[in-house]
A = this chain, B = another copy of it.
Amino acid sequence: MQKLTGEERSYYIENFQIEDFFSFNIHPYIEICKFDKGEWIFKEGSFPDTLYYMMEGKAKLYMTHKNGKVSLIEYIEAPCFMGEIELLNEARYTKGIQTVTETICLSIATQGCKDMLLADAPFLRRLCVFLGEKASKMTSKYTQNQAYPLENRLAAFIQLSSDKGIYKEKHTEICEYLGVSYRHLLYVLAQFCEANILQKKKNGYHIMDEQRLMQLAQEIQ
């Protein structure tokens, strides 16, 4: 993680009109951070003292279950808050977040201004809206996902998680994320290759038929 300075920093701060988020002067507490692709923003179990607002990028949210298994819960995309639940609950239970692409975040060091944040109506209102949308989004995802076979969900997922036309995720993770068996995931990937939608190469599955993939993904709508 790298803190931006100078022009780069100014660019993001000015472009996002950060002042609108708060009724007090937030500037002493903020930084603009750049995370490399694959870098961890939060590690599980750590004690978060930072609230992030992702401005650009994409990341994965992980959770470890009681039995020790790790599963990929959700892909998150800018703009969004990260670490907001921990701020609200004084809680320990942090989930892990790892970037998928290079990611730019506004970071707020909460140790100095937590009380101000939790007493700041403009900020809280925005957080409420964010959380409300998140809940709604989860709801519709949940309702719709049960209605479609893996073929469609996987197509949508490949679109979301691929980078430069290459899909390269751990099957063991993704089958949990998509709620299917490892065997079945492999089976459907093989189907995609069979249909020349994907092509399996050393460095991952290459998307050969963007059109058809989108079509399959959009059946979910």
Contact = CB atoms under 8 A, between A and B. Distances in A.
A179 B85 contact: no
B145 A146 contact: yes
Interface stretch (A14-22, A41-49, A128-136): A128-136
A145 B178 CA distance: 11
Count this chain's copies in the assembly. Answer: 2
Contacts of A145: 142, 146
A138 interface: yes
A121 to B, nearest CB: 5
A132 B84 contact: yes
Interface in A120-178: 120-121, 124-125, 127-129, 131-132, 134-136, 138-139, 141-143, 145-147, 178
Given A85-B136, A124-B125, A128-B128, 10 more contacts: A71-B143, A84-B132, A118-B125, A134-B135, A138-B138, A138-B139, A143-B179, A146-B146, A146-B179, A147-B179
14 contacts: A71-B143, A84-B128, A85-B135, A88-B125, A88-B129, A88-B132, A89-B129, A119-B121, A121-B124, A128-B131, A134-B135, A135-B135, A145-B146, A146-B146
